[in-house]
Amino acid sequence: MSSRLNRRSLLLSPAMAAAAAQAPSGKRPIVISSANGLLCCERARTLIERGHDTLDAVVSGVGIVEDDPKDTSVGYGGLPNEEGIVELDACVMHGPTRRAGSVASLRNIKNPAKVAKLVMEMTDHVMIVGEGALRFARTMGFKEENLLTEQTRLAWLVWKQSLRDGEGRNNWTDGLDAPLKKPTAALRQLFPNATEETLAWAQHVARFPTTGTINCLALNAKGEMSGCTTTSGLAWKIPGRIGDSPVIGAGLYVDQEVGAAGSTGRGEENIRVCGAHTIVEAMRQGKSPNEACLEALRRIARNYDQDLTRLKKFDITFYALRKDGAMGSAGLFAGQRYAVNDGGSSRLLDCVSLYDRK
Ligand code: GLY
């Protein structure tokens, strides 16, 4: 999830947010997403108002973020794997037909959510990965392109330069025989247009690899639901690493009888608790969306015996939308927000959290 937010957002106080989160909104369509989805929610809800299917709406909505090079956690411009190749994961679930589709480790195609939807619609499979996913996308007519931008190529090189052997050496920095100069001088030569801000950002993500993502959940006036999660996954990952986003039941789950849930953040933690499925089952048993999300977070905390020293090393946020329109979101630590659109412009609400701010 990117921290770049749209100016049109309206930030609510925690008290207003809690009230809004628990209040079912009657028959209005509702779309929620991670905080990077303000425009996504707006597009998806507008499409639903115009009569589009909820799955078409969320896939179109997340497409805005997949196409946006400024969001470095999703689609085009996502941070690459350790070899500098962007690998994307996505999945979709369609409530009314109870169908699902997923792709993982997909290269060169900037809209994996659309490919996941076609896996659902055009094949007898649920999940296709790697080279097979790329061939499938080609067969479906998708155009291949390089998903690495100048900004993410810079960040990848900074990360490579940050690695050290036992002697403190790195083959990607100036040699021993090189004239002494500032460590960033070579980078400046390679990226003459990079701003100080971009360089600082690259140094930050090199040190603290991100797991962004967008999760989007929708409900229409007829009570039909769908969801989608799409991501470039963990920055600098081992090629082929797959997080929670394309895993049905972890990064996304939709049960037309109950509701939908999804996640952003460190996928390894979520896979071990099947977070989205856990949340939908907790809502089935009567928990509010916020309480259900907290239940999944408690299971993650339990996997570390509530050891805050280790828990503080990652972030994870869950999102939930119940069939009656109640919604919620919870992060492991306070300070997270999520996007909502139930009419007009999207707004941001505060997430509840298991622990106080890091
Ligand atoms: N949640 C995104 C990932 O871990 O890949």
Q: Looking at the structure, do residues 120 and 236 belong to the same domain, yes or no?
A: yes
Instruction: Locate the ligand 1 atom nearest the alpha carbon of residue 265 and give its number.
Output: 1
Q: Rounded to the nearest whole angstrom, what is the distance from the C-alpha of residue 39 to the centroid of ligand 1?
A: 21
User: Are the beta carbons of 119 and 91 closer than 8 angstroms?
Assistant: no
Q: Tell me which residue range forms the domain holding 190.
A: 150-162+178-207
Q: Is residue 1 part of a domain?
A: no
CA 318 / ligand 1 centre spacing (Å): 12
Look at residue 24 in the predicted model and tell me its pLDDT. Answer: 47
Ligand 1, residue 73: give the atom nearest the CA.
Answer: 2
Of 354, 77, 30, 114, whose CA–CA distance to 212 is shortest? 77
Residue with tokens 């050290």: 164
Task: Report yes or no: 87 and 239 within 8 Å, Cβ to Cβ.
Answer: yes
Give the pLDDT confidence score for residue 279 in this predicted structure.
Answer: 98
**pLDDT average per 10 residues of sequence, the chain (358 residues):** 38 47 64 98 98 98 98 97 98 98 98 98 98 98 97 95 89 78 76 91 90 94 98 97 98 98 98 98 98 98 97 96 98 97 96 91
351 vs 334: CA distance, rounded Å: 7
Work out whether strand 327-333 and strand 352-355 pair parallel, antiparallel, or are unpaired: parallel
Is residue 273 in a domain?
yes
Task: Name the β-bridge partners of 211.
Answer: 234
Q: Cα(153)–Cα(17) distance, rounded to whole angstroms?
A: 38
In a domain, 96, yes or no: yes
Task: Specify if 43 maps to a domain.
Answer: yes
Amino acid at 68: D
List the beta bridge partners of residue 101. 92
CA distances from 251 to 17, 154, 169, 227, 273 (A): 24, 29, 39, 10, 11
The conformational region for residue 335 under phi > 0 = left, psi -120 to 50 = alpha, else beta, is left
Q: Are residues 200 and 300 in the same domain?
A: no
If asked whether residues 251 and 316 sit together in one domain, one would say yes
The reply to whether 325 falls in a domain is yes
Same domain assignment for residues 308 and 215: yes
Task: With respect to residue 345, please indicate whether it lies within any of the assigned structural domains.
Answer: yes
Distance in angstroms (rounded) separating the CA atoms of residues 176 and 157? 19
Question: From CA 114, how far away is CA 11, in angstroms rounded?
Answer: 31
169: in domain:
no
Note whether 348 and 286 are same-domain residues: yes
Of 166, 26, 2, residue with least CA distance to 78? 2
DSSP letter assigned to residue 72: T
Task: Decide if 308 contacts 244 (C-beta within 8 A).
Answer: no
- On whether both 252 and 312 belong to a single domain, the answer is yes
Does residue 203 sit in the same domain as residue 215?
no
Domain assignment present for 7: no
User: Do 36 and 2 contact (CB within 8 A), yes or no?
Assistant: yes
CA of 268 to the centre of ligand 1 (A): 7
Looking at the structure of the chain, the number of domains it has is: 2
Select from 234, 300, 315 the residue to mutate for testing ligand 1; criterion: most ligand atoms less than 8 Å from CB. Answer: 234
Q: 112 and 187: one domain?
A: no
> Which residues have CB under 8 Å from 63's CB, separation 6+?
111, 113, 114
Q: Are residues 86 and 62 part of one domain?
A: yes
Domain CATH number, residue 240: 3.60.20.30
pLDDT at site 26? 53
Upper half-sphere CA count for residue 275 (Cβ side, 13 Å): 39
User: So what's the pLDDT on residue 180?
Assistant: 67
Q: Are residues 125 and 195 in the same domain?
A: no
Contact call for residues 151 and 69 (beta carbons, < 8 A): yes
Q: What is the DSSP letter of 37?
A: G
**154 and 37 in a common domain:** no
Is residue 221 domain-shared with residue 268, that is, in the same domain?
yes
Residue nearest atom 4 of ligand 1, based on CA coordinates:
267
Ligand 1 shell residues, CB under 6 Å = 211, 213, 231, 233-234, 243-245, 264-267
- Please name the residue that has the structure tokens 């996997």: 303
